[in-house]
Amino acid sequence: MRVVVDYDLCESNAVCMGIAPEVFEVRDDDFLYVLQENPPEELRAKVEEAVQRCPKQAIKLED
């Protein structure tokens, strides 16, 4: 699975980071960084939840 963030949509609410800190990090510059573009399968449930709960629907998951 591959995590794709649309940075034109992302508003750095950091919800994704709250759900899957292994994959998403909002840093002090207020920008979101994807720590693992291809996270391991065991993180799928968390990443899917982050996709669902992003207030800007800025995250997509590609298989």
Strands (E), 1-63: 2-5, 24-26, 32-34, 59-62
15, 54 Cβ separation under 8 angstroms: yes
53 touches another protein (CB under 8 A):
yes
Contact flag: residue 52 with another protein (CB under 8 A): yes
Q: Which is nearer to another protein, 39 or 58 (CB)?
A: 58
- The reply to whether 6 sits near another protein by the rule CB under 8 A is no
Contact of 62 with 5, CB cutoff 8 Å: no
Interacting residues toward another protein by CB under 8 A: 11-15, 17-18, 25-28, 30, 52-53, 55, 57
